[in-house]
Chain A
Amino acid sequence: MNDSLFIVCAGEIFELKAELNSDKKEKKKEAVKKVIASMTVGKDVSALFPDVVNCMQTDNLELKKLVYLYLMNYAKSQPDMAIMAVNTFVKDCEDPNPLIRALAVRTMGCIRVDKITEYLCEPLRKCLKDEDPYVRKTAAVCVAKLHDINAQLVEDQGFLDTLKDLISDSNPMVVANAVAALSEIAESHPNSNLLDLNPQTINKLLTALNECTEWGQIFILDCLANYTPRDDRESQSICERVTPRLSHANSAVVLSAVKVLMKFMEMLPKDLDYYGTLLKKLAPPLVTLLSAEPELQYVALRNINLIVQRRPEILKHEMKVFFVKYNDPIYVKLEKLDIMIRLASQANIAQVLAELKEYATEVDVDFVRKAVRAIGRCAIKVEQSAERCVSTLLDLIQTKVNYVVQEAIVVIKDIFRKYPNKYESVIATLCENLDSLDEPEARAAMIWIVGEYAERIDNADELLESFLEGFHDESTQVQLQLLTAIVKLFLKKPTETQELVQQVLSLATQDSDNPDLRDRGYIYWRLLSTDPVAAKEVVLAEKPLISEETDLIEPTLLEELICHIGTLASVYHKPPSAFVEGSRGVQHKRLPGSAGSGESVESPDAGSAAGVSEAPPAVIPSQGDLLGDLLNLDLTPPTTTGPPPPSSGMQMGAMDLLGGGLDSLMGAGFGAPPAAMPASFSAPVSGGLDDLFDLGGGVGMPMGAYSPPKTVWLPAMKAKGLEISGTFARRSGVIQMEMTLTNKAMSVMTDFAIQFNRNSFGLSPAGPLQVLTPLSPNQSIEVTLPLNTVGPVMKMEPLNNLQVTQCSFRLNVM
C-alpha cells in the first residue's frame, strides 16, 4: 500500500478523530498512519493526542511503533497529556516480547518530560538486567539519555554502577553501547574517572572489539584512545590487539584505530623493532582510505594532513596516491595538493613538479592558483629542485593566463627570498609582464623584487615610478611595499632618484590616511635625513632567509588534534574548545609522554614569515599549564625595514630598552616634515649606531660607566605575573645585565633560568642566573647577570634586536 495516500488535509482532523476511536484495528492503524503522514509534511496534528494515545495498547507492533513515534514528537508540547501514556509504557517494559520491551524503554528515554522521567527509573533498572541482549543494549543507551535530561537522577539511582557492570556483559553490542554511554557521561564529568579504565576493563573492551559490529568497534576504539597506558609494554600489547582493525572495510573504524595507534606509539621507544613495524603498518590503511567515497576522502585527507605533520615517515613513499584525479571534487583536490607539498622531497620532486605543471593548466581557477603556489613551496622546500621550479614558473608565465602570471610572480618573490642572488635572470621576464598585474599581492611582490634588486635593473626607477602614479588607489599592502622599495632604490642609486623618493615620502606622510603608512614614511624620512649611513645599514641589511615549511600547525595544537583523529576537530584543524559551545573548561588532550609539560623551553621564534631561521619549532607549554612561565622579550627599538609581509607598521612607543638611543637618532630638526628635503644629508648625530646600544658589547666602543636607568622590559600582565625591569651596565670592563624581578602573582616563584637567543653581538650570559631564594608574591629582588660576547652570532633585523627568554617555575598551590 502506498503510504503517500495517507497525506491528509486540515478539515479531516475531525474525521480522523472518529477513525482513531474506531473499534476496528485496521481502521485505527490507517488513521494513525494518516496522522503520522501529516506530521511528516509539517501539519500540526497535536490536537489528536488523546486519541492517538488511546491506540497505544495494542499487540500490533507496527501500530505501536507509530503511536510511539507520535508521542516522541508531541509529548513535549503536551506534557500533561503525555502522562496518560506512562502506564502503557511501564506495562510494555515488561511485555513478553523483547522487541516491545526495548521499544518502550527507548521511547521513554526520548520523551523529555519530567513526570515521565520519574516513572522511567524502575523499568530502566529492570531492562538493564533483562535477559535479552537487545533490551539490555537499548537500556544502556537509555541511561545516557536519562543523564542528559537529569544527571543527578542517574547518579542517585545508581545507574552508573549498573552501566559499568555492563562492560563485562557477554554480548558485545551491550558492551559497546555501555562504553558509548559511559564515554558520553564521562565527558561532562572530566575528572571523575567514570570509565575507570584499568588493565582488566581494557582487556574486556579489546575482547569485545573483535566481536562487535562496526559501530561498536568505533565506540570502543574511541574510548580506548582516552586511556593512557602505564608503560611501554602495556602500550605495545594494546597496539598489537588494535592493529587488526586497520584492515576493516569501514573507514571510520580504520581512522579510530589509527588514532589509538598514533597516540600509544608515543610511549614506545623509538629504537624498538615493533615501533618500526607499526609505522609500516599504518601506511596501507591510510592509503586505502583514499578509495572511499569523496566525502570520506575529505575527512581522511584532513586527518592525513595531521599525521604527515606529526610523523612524516609513515607516508613519505606514498606520493603517487595523492596525485589528483580528474574527477575528484574540488575539496578533495585541494587537500591532496596540500599533502603533496608536505611530502615533497629530493626523492620525488621530479614527479611532483610534473604533476603540478599539469594541474596549472586545469580549468578550476582556485585549484590552478594553489598548484602554482605549490610549485613555489616546493622550490623553497627542496633546494635541488629550485632551478626546475623556476623554469616551470617561467613557462607558466609565458602562457599569459592572467591569474597564473600573478600567482607565479608572488611565488617567485618567495623564491628570491630563499635563494637570493641566484635567479635574477628571470627578472627581465617578470618586468615584461608588469602591466598584467592587477591583484595587490602580485603587485606588491613585483615591487619588492624591483626594490630588492634595484641595482641590477636599469630602469628600476621608471618601473617604480609607473606604480607611483596611482598611489592612492593602491591597496595598503602595495603602498607600503612601494614606499620601502623606493627608499631602497634611493639608497642604492641616490643620484638619480631623489625626486622619486621625495615624492613617495610626501605621498605617504602627507596625503595618506593610513597611520601605518604615515609612520613608516616618517621613520624613513628621519632616518634618511639624519643618518643615511644608518639608514643604509637598517634598510639594506642582510635579511634572514625565509623558513622552509610554512603553514605548519603549532606543535601543541597538533598533539591535541592527533588525539582527536576522526572527529570534527581533526577536520576543522581546531581544538574542540574552539567550536563546541560551552566547552571552555574542557581539558585539552595530550599525547602521553609528551614534552609539553612545563619544562624550560627555547623561545618560540618562529611564526612570522620573515622569521628567524631557527630549527624546528619548539614546544610551547599549554595554557592549562601552571608551570613554565615563558617570556619573550623583544627589545627592538621601533625601526622597520624592507622585507615583506607588509604587516602593520612599527610600534612607535614600544619598549625602548636602550635608553632613548633612538631619540638621538631622530635628533633635532624633527618637527613638521620639512617642505623640501635637504640637498645633502647632515653628518650623523651623536654617536650613530654605537649610541643605539649604549654599552657597545661587541661593537667594541669603550664607554664610561654610564648606565641608563632600568626600564620595564616585561610587564607582569604579559608574563603570568612576573615583572622584569632592567638595564645594561658596564662595570669594570664587564657588561652586566641588571634586573629587578618582581613577583606580582599569587604563588611563589622559584627556579629561574635565562637564555639568550643568537643576536648580532654574540651576547650571552657569562654565568648562571643567580636567584637563590624563592620569590614570594609582591617581593622583588635585584639580580645581576654578567654577560660576555662570545656567544653565537647572528645578524638580527634590526641590528640591535635582542631576544631573551626567561622561565620560572611556580609551586603549584592547590
Chain B
Amino acid sequence: MTASAVFILDMKGKVIISRNYRGDVPMNCVERFSGHVLEAEANDERPVWLEHGTTYIYIKYNNLYIMAVTQRNSNAAMILLFLYRLVEVFKDYFKELEEESIRDNFVITYELMDEMMDFGYPQVSEPKILRE
C-alpha cells in the first residue's frame, strides 16, 4: 500500500532532504536512482521502475526530483499522486518550489512531511488543514 521513504533530490541526484517512514529500505538506494535516471537513455525512462527488488517512483518539478521507494506491492497511483500533492503543498507554503526553497525552509519541510505521511500512508494533504 505504502511508500517506505520519500526523497527530494537535485538535478544531479544528490539528496536535499529525505524522510524514512518505514525503515525497511536502505537509504543508499538513492545511489541507484541517480545512476539510473541520469545515465539512462531517454527512451528507457519510466516513472515507475524496479531494480533489485526496490521500486522507484518519481516525478520531476523544476530542478528537483521527488522520489519514493518501496519494496512491496504498493499502490503506485496513490504514491504518484502523493508526490504531486507534496509539490502542491510546498508551493503553497514557499511560493516557489526549487532547491533553494527546501534548503531555506527545512524545518517546515520536515514538519510537513511528517504530517502528510505516517508510516508510508498518506494522511492529510490539504494546505488549509495543514496550517491549522
Residues of A that sit less than 8 Å from B by CB:
2-4, 33, 36-37, 40, 42, 62, 65-66, 69, 106, 109-110, 112, 137-138, 141-142, 144-145, 148, 173, 177, 180, 183-184, 213-215, 218-219, 222, 250-252, 255-256, 293-296, 298-300, 329-331, 364, 366, 564, 566-572, 576, 579-581, 583
Listed by A's residue number, 7 A-B pairs whose Cβ atoms lie within 8 Å are: A106-B114, A110-B21, A141-B119, A184-B1, A251-B77, A576-B72, A580-B53
Query: What residues on A are CB-neighbors of B22 within 8 Å?
Result: 148
> In the complex the two chains form, is B78's CB within 8 Å of A215's CB?
yes
> In the complex the two chains form, is A4's CB within 8 Å of B104's CB?
yes
Given that A4-B104, A568-B55 are known contacts, is A219 also in contact with B121, CB under 8 Å in the complex? yes
> In the complex the two chains form, is A568's CB within 8 Å of B124's CB?
no
> In the complex the two chains form, is A568's CB within 8 Å of B106's CB?
no
Query: What residues on B are CB-neighbors of A42 within 8 Å?
Result: 15
Q: Flag B78-115 by CB within 8 Å of A: 1 or 0 each.
A: 10111010000000000000000001111100110010
Shortest beta-carbon distance from B120 to chain A in Å:
9
> In the complex the two chains form, is B48's CB within 8 Å of A568's CB?
yes
Partner of A567, one of B43, B46, B74: B74
A160 to B114, CA, bound (A): 25
Query: What residues on A are CB-neighbors of B73 within 8 Å?
Result: 564, 567-569, 576, 579-580, 583
Shortest beta-carbon distance from B126 to chain A in Å:
8
A170 to B26, CA, bound (A): 38
Query: What residues on A are CB-neighbors of B2 within 8 Å?
Result: 184
Partner of B43, one of A69, A256, A364: A364
Partner of A141, one of B42, B103, B121: B121
Given that A222-B75, A567-B75 are known contacts, is A294 also in contact with B47, CB under 8 Å in the complex? yes
A567 to B75, CA, bound (A): 4
Of all chain B residues, the one with the shortest Cβ separation from A109 is B119
B123 at the interface (CB under 8 A from A): yes
Of all chain B residues, the one with the shortest Cβ separation from A149 is B23
A145 to B117, CA, bound (A): 13
A184 to B2, CA, bound (A): 9
Known: A295-B48, A331-B45, A331-B47. 11 other contacts (CB 8 A): A37-B106, A40-B106, A42-B15, A180-B1, A183-B1, A213-B123, A256-B75, A330-B45, A568-B73, A571-B76, A581-B71
Query: What residues on B are CB-neighbors of A331 within 8 Å?
Result: 45-47
B29 at the interface (CB under 8 A from A): no
A256 to B50, CA, bound (A): 22
Query: What residues on B are CB-neighbors of A3 within 8 Å?
Result: 103-107
B11 at the interface (CB under 8 A from A): no
Shortest beta-carbon distance from B44 to chain A in Å:
9
> In the complex the two chains form, is B78's CB within 8 Å of A252's CB?
yes
Residues of B that sit less than 8 Å from A by CB:
1-2, 15-17, 21-23, 42-43, 45-48, 50, 53, 55, 57, 59, 70-78, 80-82, 84, 103-107, 110-111, 114, 118-119, 121-126
**Pairs of residues from A and B, 4 with the lowest C-beta to C-beta distance, nearest first:** A295-B47, A252-B77, A576-B73, A215-B122
Of all chain B residues, the one with the shortest Cβ separation from A5 is B104
Query: What residues on B are CB-neighbors of A69 within 8 Å?
Result: 110, 114
A93 to B70, CA, bound (A): 30
> In the complex the two chains form, is B45's CB within 8 Å of A329's CB?
yes
Query: What residues on A are CB-neighbors of B15 within 8 Å?
Result: 42
A69 to B17, CA, bound (A): 13
Query: What residues on B are CB-neighbors of A106 within 8 Å?
Result: 114, 118
A581 to B118, CA, bound (A): 23
Shortest beta-carbon distance from B125 to chain A in Å:
7
Given that A215-B122, A215-B125, A566-B77 are known contacts, is A66 also in contact with B107, CB under 8 Å in the complex? yes
> In the complex the two chains form, is A330's CB within 8 Å of B119's CB?
no
Query: What residues on A are CB-neighbors of B43 within 8 Å?
Result: 330, 364, 366
> In the complex the two chains form, is A40's CB within 8 Å of B17's CB?
yes
Of all chain B residues, the one with the shortest Cβ separation from A250 is B81
> In the complex the two chains form, is B107's CB within 8 Å of A299's CB?
no
A568 to B84, CA, bound (A): 18
A366 to B80, CA, bound (A): 26
Query: What residues on B are CB-neighbors of A144 within 8 Å?
Result: 119
Centre residue among B23, B71, B72, B75 by max chain A CB count within 10 A: B75
Of all chain A residues, the one with the shortest Cβ separation from B24 is A148
> In the complex the two chains form, is A112's CB within 8 Å of B121's CB?
no
Shortest beta-carbon distance from A36 to chain B in Å:
7
A33 to B109, CA, bound (A): 13
A250 to B85, CA, bound (A): 10
Given that A36-B110, A37-B106, A294-B47 are known contacts, is A566 also in contact with B119, CB under 8 Å in the complex? no
Query: What residues on B are CB-neighbors of A214 within 8 Å?
Result: 125
Query: What residues on B are CB-neighbors of A215 within 8 Å?
Result: 78, 82, 121-123, 125
Shortest beta-carbon distance from B109 to chain A in Å:
9
